[in-house]
Structure 1
Amino acid sequence: MRRFLFVGFPLNERPSSNVVRPSGCPGLLRVVQALDGGICRIKLDGGAIQADQAEAVASAAERFASGVIEATNRGNLQIRGIGAEHSALIESLLAAGLGPRIPAGDDVRNLMLSPSAGIDRQMLFDTRPLAAQILFTLQTHERFPELSAKFAVQLDGGEALAMLEHHHDLWLSALIHDGEPWLAFGLAGSPLDKPAGRVPLAQGHALVVAVLELFLDLARPDQIRMRHVLAEIPTDVFMTRLARRVPLQACLDWQRDGSIDGLHIGVHPQHDDRVYVGAAAPLGRLDAVMLRGAAQLARERGDESLRFTPWQSLLLPNVRRADADDVLARLEGLGLLGSSEQPLAQLIACTGSSGCAKALADTKADAHQLAELLQRQGQPLKIHLSGCPRSCAAAHIAPATLLAVAPGRYDLYFRDATLPGFGALQAHNLTIEAIGHWLDARPRSPLDA
């Protein structure tokens, strides 16, 4: 059974609301107990963190936990293996400025941006000013603590580097209409879906507030996600009620262009004369030395900031072109992955049985073994290893999924949009060695997409 510890603020400052939607998700103020100790999740504004804050996370992981730091699939960080000194760990993170504006705002800081917001060559406009407005309101609105910690919003500026496969309760995506900036938006989906409508950019903040307030007006306490409400209330009815709160226009002919794969790793030009440099944390795992080293590089060669991505990688923005190759080499020297051609950079794995009681296999160890097999075969394939059906490590369906059925054994699925869950079952109860042989013998197909 999981245990939750809410610490860091006096009792009279803790969240309160008329509706309580309990969450098993860790937060900065709520440490969740796992097999390998406590977990503390640090939500980053737009995935960004300053170098001194990153060093504070590294020190907290060393002093109060096992030293394991994870990059999450929403561009956040979490510390694993926390021991008895929960309060001291949380106080150190609060002192570094990593907490919410008010205690009640911690759970609802769920706004995902492109990791290249404001610097992307393809962006239609800089989403960060609007994001700052939305984040402030998410944390300070008197009703928004009623939202579940899983309720999520995405703001997309049309960047080439954008995670478009994650589903969100509300998504907003940039478009230009008659030379003016607008936002297409949709409910319970992603920017790749048909939009429900559009509003001028200046109305973006009002739209977010109206959607969230209407959701709370309609949702029962057990309905924590937008899809739960829309399963009972048709989307057109929701939209009719929404239009009474904020002016909406139809958005019939708009479609979001896809993002460009691989832009989260390596050296890539910005919209100015600088570049950003990206490297992946192997299977989402960092340690204090890696994070501290990356922070020092950001201070020396960048703008003293880091950005974490939904691909479990990090970016150093605003690097001079002349320094880029050296920065990438130094990130690789820290143990980060600097090329998408490396098989390990294409694999996703959950915590596995070493840290989670629900997992049926040690997915991290098995993923390392699989990466070695794929390296020998020259196959950098996109594969997700999940210790149980909850799929905690991936917020979207990967081209291929290995679902653990026993220690070291997996069912293999290929993604199929016509089927629910992980897709089409290809093989059952395979060992890692057998999976390597099976993949080597298969015709080249959806796995390479």
Structure 2
Amino acid sequence: MPPSPSTRSRAAAPPLRDRGDACPGALRLHQAADGHLARIRLPAGDLTMRQATALADAADLLGDGHLSLTSRGNAELRGLAEDCGSRLAALLRDAGLLPSERHERIRNILASPLAGLDRHTPSDVRRWARELDALLCASESATALSGRFLFVLDDGRGDVAALGGDVSLLAEPGAGAEAEPLAGADEDGEGTGPAGGALLRIGDDPAALQVAGPDVPRAALAAAEAFLTTAAASGSGAWRVRELPDGHRLTAREVAEALRSAGIEAAYVAEPPARVARTSPPHAPPYALPHSPPYADSAAPGIVEGPDGDRALSVLAPLGRLSVAQWRLLTAIADVDGSGALRLTPWRGIVLPGVPAAAAPDRLAELTAAGLITDPASPWHRLGACTGRPGCAKSRTDVRADATAAVAAGTTVPDGAPTGSSPPGVPVYWSGCERRCGHPHGTWVDVLATAEGYRVALVEPDGAPTAARPPARPSARTAASRPPAPPSAP
């Protein structure tokens, strides 16, 4: 079995980039096999009613009548005509989804979806996300970032801290008192700071910088600018922190110097102490420590109990794709019974905040009837797939049809895969080629389409696949209807 992407990145030298990335955006459309594709960045996954309605209108009038949710909490429109770019831009601009057209592809900001909504996490890192977005859109230098560079803001529960951020910030608890000195502070005694701040990490560096709360958004931008300086000096054209070559690695100590040059105090912590991560709502298990890959999403489907009698509804779209009708139902519920907002999650779900406790069960039942996933025990929970055929010409097969057939047969892996190849609670992801676009982080079951059939393996947090299974042939029903397999993708 070919190694996973993360295995390849460790075994080989980082790539030399001699061009800008071709990541699609809202204005730069991508030519796919099923038409043009637009990716709309939604910092922290936040959408107002006006913005959500604009996306539905765009999918209805210009696209294929569906919306796709990405692993970064963004939205995609597919099946767009080649000449629809100006109409799409006008729709998005009028809804406030294009605050800066020069920056629209770099607004990649993930934040804990339940921040401020459940009883366990009073920290609202989403305010930091909004401030960081405004700083990005006002920064001339930030336009040089690639469309793949990622900011992650974790509210302290550890749900998004390990999702591959280039600049990651983990909120620290506090309510106004001075924080206790951190274990692992450097020899100069640094390691204390005001409570309610954040630990900033750069790429995979285990060290962190402790930053005061008011400085967090500026510190995130300064860290990104330090990356741009390092990437330029390396001559590698790196798009992400992990792509920087040996001799030009960016570490927390170097970022600390950049922050101090920007007037931001940062306390160096050689290795943040292991702290027990706050748990998610009662319907989901505790989460991994902040430095460990998570094994479950925080916004598991169901009703989330919040403070003051409020509830939030969390739902998933099967394989991250939903119809305009389903989207409009979500928008209507958020408008009538919710807070007038939607939150998209990096697990291809949607959260509706502010639903009264009395209305929550009936509204959840309505969403269930509409075909959305509302039960954490559903086989669709933690099941994902790339676009596959016919939308992607590089895919060897229609992985979504095959995954759907597997669910109908009572499993989440291909016919013929050995019993036990999908451990309980571990995400399963179907990929049509070795690129594995959109695959999960941490431990996951890799279902890869090959010329001989599907190959199933468990991928561990270090990226190394284990227990590779012999190829499993797809069901006759889906195999008979699929087009001939194209040559393997590069």
TM range (shorter): 0.7 to 0.9
Native 8 Å contact 1:344 1:368 kept in 2? no
Bigger fraction of residues in helix: 1
- In the alignment, what sits opposite 2:129? 131
> What amino acid sits opposite 1:168 in the alignment?
G
State how far apart, in whole Å, the 1-side matches of 2:299 and 2:256 are.
Answer: 39
The more displaced of 285-294 and 174-183 is 174-183
- In the alignment, what sits opposite 1:24? 22
Q: CA deviation at 1:296?
A: 0.7
Q: Deviations over 1:299-327 (max 9, x none)?
A: 11101111111110111101111111111
The more displaced of 383-392 and 228-237 is 228-237
Native 8 Å contact 2:197 2:213 kept in 1? yes
Native 8 Å contact 1:342 1:375 kept in 2? no
Change (3 A) 1:432 1:88: same
Native 8 Å contact 1:411 1:425 kept in 2? no
Q: Deviations over 1:150-172 (max 9, x none)?
A: 01111111247x33431110100
Q: Which runs of 5+ in 1 are unaligned?
A: 1-18, 435-449
The more displaced of 371-380 and 241-250 is 371-380
SS in 2 for 1:30: coil
Native 8 Å contact 2:27 2:85 kept in 1? no
Native 8 Å contact 1:412 1:427 kept in 2? yes
TM-score by length of 1: 0.84
State how far apart, in whole Å, the 2-side matches of 1:410 and 1:72 are.
Answer: 23
- In the alignment, what sits opposite 1:8? none
Of residues 265, 270, 282 in structure 2, which corresponds to 1:247?
Answer: 265
Of residues 459, 468, 473 in structure 2, which corresponds to 1:426?
Answer: 468
Change (3 A) 1:187 1:429: same
- In the alignment, what sits opposite 2:169? 172
Q: Which runs of 5+ in 2 are unaligned?
A: 1-16, 174-178, 181-193, 278-286, 289-295, 413-418, 477-490
Q: CA deviation at 1:262?
A: 5.8
State how far apart, in whole Å, the 1-side matches of 2:259 and 2:133 are.
Answer: 23
The more displaced of 271-280 and 200-209 is 200-209
- In the alignment, what sits opposite 2:354? 318
Q: Deviations over 1:112-164 (max 9, x none)?
A: 1111122232225221222221101111101100000001111111247x334
1:98 aligns with 2:97: yes
Q: Deviations over 1:279-300 (max 9, x none)?
A: 1001000111110111011111
- In the alignment, what sits opposite 1:413? 457
SS in 1 for 2:170: strand
**Residue-pair matches, total:** 408
- In the alignment, what sits opposite 1:446? none
1:216 aligns with 2:228: yes
- In the alignment, what sits opposite 2:154? 156
- In the alignment, what sits opposite 2:12? none
Identical residues among aligned pairs (%) = 30
RMSD between aligned alpha carbons? 2.6
- In the alignment, what sits opposite 2:48? 50
> What amino acid sits opposite 1:400 in the alignment?
V
1:182 aligns with 2:197: yes
1:402 aligns with 2:447: yes
SS in 1 for 2:299: coil
Q: CA deviation at 1:266?
A: 0.3
In the TM superposition, what are the counterparts of 1:3-402 in structure 2 within 5 Å? 22-83=20-81, 84-99=83-98, 101-159=99-157, 162-176=159-173, 177-178=179-180, 180-189=195-204, 194-220=206-232, 222-229=237-244, 231-234=246-249, 235=251, 238-239=254-255, 241-242=257-258, 244-245=260-261, 246-251=264-269, 252-255=271-274, 257=277, 258=287, 261=297, 263-374=299-410, 382-402=427-447
Bigger fraction of residues in strand: 1
Q: CA deviation at 1:57?
A: 1.2
State how far apart, in whole Å, the 2-side matches of 1:224 and 1:375 are.
Answer: 38
Change (3 A) 1:361 1:406: farther
State how far apart, in whole Å, the 2-side matches of 1:61 and 1:116 are.
Answer: 27
State how far apart, in whole Å, the 1-side matches of 2:298 and 2:307 are.
Answer: 18
SS in 1 for 2:61: helix
Q: CA deviation at 1:432?
A: 3.6
Native 8 Å contact 1:414 1:425 kept in 2? yes
State how far apart, in whole Å, the 2-side matches of 1:249 and 1:156 are.
Answer: 19
Native 8 Å contact 1:170 1:188 kept in 2? yes
Native 8 Å contact 2:69 2:75 kept in 1? yes
State how far apart, in whole Å, the 2-side matches of 1:129 and 1:346 are.
Answer: 28
SS in 2 for 1:24: coil
TM-score by length of 2: 0.77
Change (3 A) 1:332 1:214: same
Native 8 Å contact 1:349 1:363 kept in 2? yes
Q: Deviations over 1:24-50 (max 9, x none)?
A: 221111111100001111111310112
